């Protein structure tokens, strides 16, 4: 059987299957599988889809795929046909639970209070993975950073700044962005978040004429990811989004090799995005 269920975050799955290709439209994937003769080996690629909310018919079709297809869902409904099949066939892989001892080993500089805050606030695999990514982007990880990370004020300002950037509201963007930098926010972390934002916009872009629910069904994204990004996706061309996405990746790579300056390169990218009318 080619289908397997990962009850985990996407970063955990990708750490194991680094070359797996994301499926955006599961029905289209199934149609392609059906059009290929069973004896044909068109591709050796592994594929993954980020929602376990599949119909019984979709699950049955995926079982016949000639390529490995992994379903990654950190909070799958145990009543679904997929979960019942995966449990019966022992095809479930679970991300190891992160407890206080594991977090203390990763972040020995944090107090027990901060460790407990992370466990309570980032209670599911995906949010915990995102929290770790944000923490690891700080130059130094402190209790104040953890408290700030989970404060509504911090989250609102950070994502509001990204939102104003992508809709081209320069005055409001720079006002919030400067506040974040003055408070000690890492520009590199902001760039990582921008990279992730652009990735979501690229996923949403082909389906902007559908309803929010329709986009969710096509992409596997949650309601908030779609609702908060669809207007920005409408504003920009897919070529612009790809250009900025690739530039973020280029800057991150070159910074690691000492060939880029986040102050200069990130500012150039911001100006380019804001200048795209």
3 state SS of 98: coil
Domain spans of the chain? 3-94, 151-274
- Are the CB atoms for 219 and 203 separated by under 8 Å? yes
Would you state the pLDDT for residue 172?
Answer: 86
pLDDT tens, 152-167?
556 667 778 888 898 8
113 or 38, higher pLDDT:
113
Q: Give the model's pLDDT for residue 277.
A: 62
Do 74 and 53 contact (CB within 8 A), yes or no? Answer: no
Mean pLDDT of 244-264: 81
Q: What is the rounded CA–CA span in Å between residue 220 and residue 25?
A: 8
Pick the CATH number of 151-274 from 3.90.420.10, 1.20.272.10, 1.10.3720.10, 3.50.50.60: 1.20.272.10
State yes or no: pLDDT of 69 exceeds 50. Answer: yes
Give 11 or 207, the one with higher predicted confidence.
Answer: 207
pLDDT of 117 above 70: yes
Q: What is the pTM of this model?
A: 0.49
> Residue 271 corresponds to which tokens in the numbers above?
């100006």
Dist CA 60 CA 83 (whole Å): 13
Question: Is residue 38 over pLDDT 50?
Answer: no
pLDDT of res. 182: 64
């Amino acid at each position: 059987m080619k289908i397997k269920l990962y009850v985990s975050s996407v970063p955990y799955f990708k750490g194991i299957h680094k070359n797996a290709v994301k499926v955006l439209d599961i029905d289209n994937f199934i149609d392609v599988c059906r059009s290929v003769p069973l004896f044909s080996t068109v591709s050796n690629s592994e594929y993954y889809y980020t929602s376990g909310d599949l119909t019984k018919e979709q699950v049955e079709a995926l079982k016949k795929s000639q390529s490995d297809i992994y379903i990654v869902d950190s909070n799958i409904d145990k009543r679904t046909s997929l979960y019942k099949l995966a449990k019966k066939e022992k095809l479930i892989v679970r991300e190891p639970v992160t407890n206080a001892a594991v977090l203390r080993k990763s972040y020995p500089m944090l107090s027990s209070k901060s460790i407990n805050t992370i466990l309570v606030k980032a209670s599911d695999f995906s949010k915990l993975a995102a929290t770790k990514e944000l923490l690891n982007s700080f130059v130094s990880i402190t209790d104040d950073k953890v408290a700030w990370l989970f404060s509504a004020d911090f989250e609102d300002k950070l994502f509001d700044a990204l939102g104003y950037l992508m809709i081209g509201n320069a005055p409001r963007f720079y006002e919030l962005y400067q506040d974040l930098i003055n408070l000690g926010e890492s520009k590199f972390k902001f760039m990582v978040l921008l990279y992730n934002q652009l990735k979501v916009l690229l996923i949403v872009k082909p389906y902007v004429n559908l309803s929010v629910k329709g986009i969710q069904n096509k992409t596997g994204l949650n309601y908030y990811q779609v609702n908060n990004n669809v207007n920005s996706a409408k504003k920009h061309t897919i070529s612009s989004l790809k250009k900025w996405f690739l530039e973020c990746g280029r800057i991150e790579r070159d910074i690691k090799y000492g060939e880029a300056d986040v102050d200069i390169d990130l500012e150039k990218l911001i100006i380019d995005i804001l200048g795209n009318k």
